[in-house]
Homo-oligomer: A and B are copies of this chain.
Amino acid sequence: MTIYKPKGDSASAMSIAAVELDCGLSKDTLRVWERRYGFPAPVRDDHDERLYPADQVGKLRLLRRLIDAGHRPGKIVTRSLEELTALARPVAGRPAAMESAEVRDVLDLLRAHRTERLREALAGQVLQHGLGAFAMEVAPDLAKAVGAAWSRGDLEIHEEHLFTEQLTAVLRSAINGVLNGRLSSDPPRVLLTTFPQEPHALGILMAEAVFVLQGCPTVSLGARVPIPEIASAARAHGAQIVALSFSACMTSAQAHGGLAELRRTMDPAVQIWAGGSCPGLRARDGVSVLRTLVDIAPGVLAWRQGAHGAAPA
């Protein structure tokens, strides 16, 4: 777990481990691309270890974005930087057309780095729509628009981080407000978390807002929790529902493998609800898939009406 040669001093060239972390391409992938396509073509240090110049790392970052957006590596790895940036752009037109004024406002504030105004705008939207509608409809739209803008190069990574932070702060504030004001809560008790491969915590935060509004006691473990720990936590808290969020950065194999293992190791009476934008997320026996956050409320209602074994949707 130690990186021996960060070589930050040696003018802007990175070790293979540093590139793996920076671009999210595994060492194996970096080596096999070099072997197959001739790119990247890192220089070597005294001890024949790869050193990636900054411009190649930049191109690798762009390639990663394009591949996440659906391009195939073999078709684009060898192309020039100009062709690639051109490739990243044209998608811009379509989704922008159907963006609401609210979404456009938020994107503009993000690009202008008006942090305080962004906070106020988000907080204002919560007040205007109510926490429920905000969490179920506005926030997911915003997240999707920000993700799309990022993947077409319209938004910097740090701007996306800033958005996540601000939305998290606003949502948490609102949830706390509801919690502090309420007198009691009724089952089902809900445990919220994500699998170790899933770093995004926004999904479970939005879901938590909806569950809290339904009067459910919630326990959030945050993101990246090992599966045995999820099972153990569900037992410890006496949860009746375990809610999991899956974003596009998880593969369907990871999701289904994890869900199967969790189902196997947990009391069958505990329901598993899965949601999110992970492609190929399908319901299996003992696992319910909720297409959107709007499906949570009827699900809770069904649970309370005694159909504890039955899955929603």
Where the two chains meet, the residues of A that have a C-beta atom closer than 8 Å to any C-beta of B are 1-4, 6-9, 12, 21-22, 24-26, 29, 113, 115-116, 119, 156-159, 161-162, 164-165, 168-169, 172-173, 175-176, 179, 193, 196-197, 199, 217, 219-222, 224-226, 229-230, 232-233, 236-237, 251, 253-254, 256-261, 264-265
- Quick one: which of B162, B229, B254 contacts A3, CB cutoff 8 A? B254
In the complex with contacts A2-B251, A22-B196, A24-B1, A222-B113 CB distance below 8 A = no
Question: Is there an interface contact between A257 and B157, defined as CB atoms closer than 8 Å?
Answer: no
Q: Beyond the given A3-B257, A6-B256, please list 16 additional residue pairs across the A-B interface where CB-CB is below 8 A.
A: A3-B254, A8-B260, A8-B264, A9-B261, A21-B197, A22-B196, A156-B232, A158-B225, A158-B229, A158-B236, A159-B236, A161-B222, A161-B229, A164-B222, A169-B175, A172-B173
Per assembly, the copies of the chain total: 2
- Quick one: which of B4, B6, B225 contacts A258, CB cutoff 8 A? B6
Q: Chain B's nearest CB lies how many Å from the CB of A33?
A: 13
Main secondary structure of the interface of A (DSSP, over half): helix
- Quick one: which of B116, B157, B256 contacts A225, CB cutoff 8 A? B157
Question: Is there an interface contact between A161 and B225, defined as CB atoms closer than 8 Å?
Answer: yes
17 sampled A-B residue pairs with Cβ under 8 A? A2-B253, A2-B254, A21-B197, A115-B217, A119-B179, A157-B229, A158-B233, A161-B193, A161-B221, A161-B233, A162-B219, A164-B222, A168-B172, A169-B175, A169-B176, A172-B172, A172-B173
